[in-house]
Amino acid sequence: MGVVREKKKIGWPVIILIILAPFILRFAVGLFTGHDIEDVRVKIEEHLYEKYGEEFVVTQIGTRTFGGKKYYQAKIYPKSIIGTNKYGDEYYSATASIDILSFGRLDEPGDSYGRVIARKKALKYLTPKIKEIFGERVRLKPKITYHTRNKYGVMVGYLTPDFDMALRKSIEDPENNRLELDLDVYIFKRIENEEEKEERRKEIFELVQYLKEEGLFEYLEMRIFFIDERVLAPSYTKVAKEIYSSCKVKEQVDGQKGRAVKLPPLELREKVSKVLQKEIDKMSEKELLTNMNKIRKDQLTYKRIRKNNNHYMSYIYSESILRERYGHDSDYEKIRDYDNVGDVVITDNLEYVYVD
């Protein structure tokens, strides 16, 4: 007769250990090889909700290293923009980060969304006056940089969502506070003739005087672009692809001997100019504005809009911004006081493709 072995019962400590094993393993992995991404996501989401009072999407989480220190970084944007034209627009997104401390501990999150809030406030502040000057066919793309003097007497960049505070301090105490304004103004209407160009020059001058009055000129870099309205035609996207893929030819620049620019063939330029103009002529002002407002902020760039559609442009630099960013001497040709209309210079874009 065989020997009957008594079955050993598993004790409660072993059972508890088995239950806790996955959590212990997860902790060990997080400690030595990296944290659970969902934990990082939740920590950032809670931080953003507490700070801004709304829910955010936290995505594209990864690790970075800077100065020998490792940290998590994520792309963030508010859930409220989902379903709007702002969704997917890099202009309205920011980053959040969490430093990885010793023994794998996570520091408190930080974020750069305050920069987006400052842009939105600047946009709201500037839009009414600029539309009053140039009309409704305007899109603005402001960027704000605020510097304040620290306890060591050094001017340092400070990320603040409070545009009004930064502006007020830069006016009241300019020795210790500086607000830098980068402003791109896109006007979706080409300049037809010299008389209209002169009217636009006066409008730009009026805008500069307004910025002076508001305390926004001292550190100003402003670029004004007059975009051909044919970019608002329904078939523009199709035409833009045709222009982009065409074989470019060199054309001599009028009045500039030896200087040439590469453009699509003249025949193609003439064709697309007529096709798009016919579409524009059939559109109402409301339809034009609707299509203009569909253009995202991150599309308002040289490559996406300006390269072939920018008819004329004007660049405005304050003396302080030239010295701060570019180190120019006081006799440099770009330095102007903008005390008279003649200081405003409007130049044409050599890569402009339309032919009338």
Give the pLDDT of residue 280: 97
* Tally of domains within the chain: 2
Task: Give domain status of residue 4, yes or no.
Answer: no
- What's the average model confidence in pLDDT over 109-119? 95
Domain boundary among 48, 78, 111: 111
- State the Cα–Cα distance between residues 345 and 315, nearest whole angstrom: 7
Q: Same structural domain for residues 179 and 252? A: yes
- State the Cα–Cα distance between residues 53 and 241, nearest whole angstrom: 42
pTM, entire model: 0.86
Q: Pick the residue with more confidence: 336 or 300? A: 300
Whether residue 163 is predicted with pLDDT greater than 90 in this model: the reply is yes
Task: Give domain status of residue 34, yes or no.
Answer: yes
Whether residue 302 is predicted with pLDDT greater than 90 in this model: the reply is yes
Task: Give domain status of residue 215, yes or no.
Answer: yes
Give the pLDDT of residue 204: 98
Percent of the chain with pLDDT over 90: 75
- What domain range includes position 306? 115-348
Whether residue 3 is predicted with pLDDT greater than 90 in this model: the reply is no
Task: Give domain status of residue 183, yes or no.
Answer: yes
Task: Give domain status of residue 275, yes or no.
Answer: yes
77 contacts 93 by C-beta, under 8 angstroms: yes
Give the pLDDT of residue 267: 94
Q: Same structural domain for residues 98 and 213? A: no
Q: Same structural domain for residues 119 and 171? A: yes
Q: Pick the residue with more confidence: 5 or 35? A: 35
Region of poorest pLDDT, from 19-33, 106-120, 182-196, 303-317: 19-33
Give 279's contacts (C-beta < 8 A, 6+ positions apart).
230, 233, 234, 235
Q: Same structural domain for residues 263 and 321? A: yes
Angle, in degrees to the nearest 10, between helices 113-134 and 163-172: 80
Domain boundary among 85, 111, 137: 111
Closest C-alpha to 350, from 316, 307, 301, 314: 307
Domain boundary among 90, 111, 132: 111
Q: CB-based burial of residue 183 (10 Å sphere; 0-12 exposed, 13-18 middle, 19+ buried)?
A: buried
Region of 215 please: left (phi>0), alpha (psi -120 to 50) or beta: left
Give the pLDDT of residue 1: 46
Q: Same structural domain for residues 149 and 78? A: no
Whether residue 33 is predicted with pLDDT greater than 70 in this model: the reply is no
Give the confidence band of 97 by pLDDT, cuts at 50, 70, 90. very high
Tens of pLDDT, residues 338-348:
999 999 999 99
Q: Same structural domain for residues 79 and 219? A: no
Domain at 37, CATH number: 3.10.450
- Look over the chain and give the mean of its residue pLDDT values, rounded to a whole number: 89
- What's the average model confidence in pLDDT over 101-128? 93
Task: Give domain status of residue 3, yes or no.
Answer: no
Q: Same structural domain for residues 128 and 105? A: no
Whether residue 59 is predicted with pLDDT greater than 80 in this model: the reply is yes
Q: Pick the residue with more confidence: 31 or 13? A: 13
Q: Same structural domain for residues 85 and 122? A: no
Task: Give domain status of residue 26, yes or no.
Answer: yes
Residue 144, CA atoms < 13 Å, CB-side half-sphere: 29
Q: Same structural domain for residues 272 and 131? A: yes
Give the pLDDT of residue 9: 54
Q: Same structural domain for residues 104 and 126? A: no
The dihedral built from the CA positions of residue 282, 285, 290 and 291, taken in this order, carries a sign that is positive
232 contacts 281 by C-beta, under 8 angstroms: no
Q: Same structural domain for residues 73 and 154? A: no
Task: Give domain status of residue 332, yes or no.
Answer: yes
Give the pLDDT of residue 335: 83
- State the Cα–Cα distance between residues 41 and 21, nearest whole angstrom: 24
Q: Same structural domain for residues 225 and 103? A: no
